[in-house]
């Protein structure tokens, strides 16, 4: 297995902390990334009252906004961010495990089913396998 194919679960989770969905962009899970982007925006628009939004984007106005946010909004945004981080971490870990099984020759790269390492092909989908028995 190529090292470039391995994804770092911790990096995916940290990117999800920076902004929900960013870890999924790193994992090239585009639909999930859009889902998490949309979910955090929807949560913010539903939970943050209109009077809290700053009129200008300065550090001071953003600090005032964070102090004025109700606890329920902070909890909701934190929950969505936390779930996003866990999802990105688990997704990266599962992908790495699947890639390792393919590299070990115990899983078909085409259909993903378990294969017999003694065969030169997958007995489920007939894909030719690289790690078949050596020919003399």
10-21 tens-digit pLDDT: 999 999 999 999
Q: How far apart are CA 92 and CA 113, in angstroms?
A: 20
Give the pLDDT confidence score for residue 4 in this predicted structure: 52
Among 53-57, 103-107, 129-133, name the one with the lowest average pLDDT. Answer: 129-133
- Calculate the CA dihedral of residues 75, 57, 35, 4 and round it to 10 degrees: -110
Averaged over 72-99, what is the pLDDT?
Answer: 94
Radius of gyration of the chain measured on its C-alpha atoms: 22
Distance between first and last Cα of the chain: 25
pTM confidence score: 0.72
Name the pLDDT band for 131 (thresholds 50, 70, 90): low
- Cα–Cα distance, 15 to 58 (Å, whole number): 23
CA nearest 20: which of 69, 86, 67? 86
**Whose CA is closest to 20, among 53, 49, 50, 44?**
44
């Amino acid at each position: 297995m190529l090292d470039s194919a391995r994804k770092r679960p911790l990096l995916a989770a940290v990117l999800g902390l920076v902004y929900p969905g960013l870890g999924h962009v790193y994992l090239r899970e585009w639909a999930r990334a859009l889902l998490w982007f949309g979910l955090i925006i929807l949560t913010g628009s539903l939970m943050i009252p209109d009077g809290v939004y700053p009129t200008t984007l300065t550090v001071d106005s953003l600090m005032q906004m964070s102090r004025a946010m109700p606890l329920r909004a902070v909890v909701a945004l934190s929950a969505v961010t936390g779930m996003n981080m866990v999802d990105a971490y688990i997704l990266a870990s599962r992908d790495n495990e699947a890639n390792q099984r393919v590299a070990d020759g115990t899983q078909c790269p085409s259909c993903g089913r378990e294969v017999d390492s003694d065969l030169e092909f997958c007995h489920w989908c007939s894909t030719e396998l690289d790690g078949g028995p050596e020919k003399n």
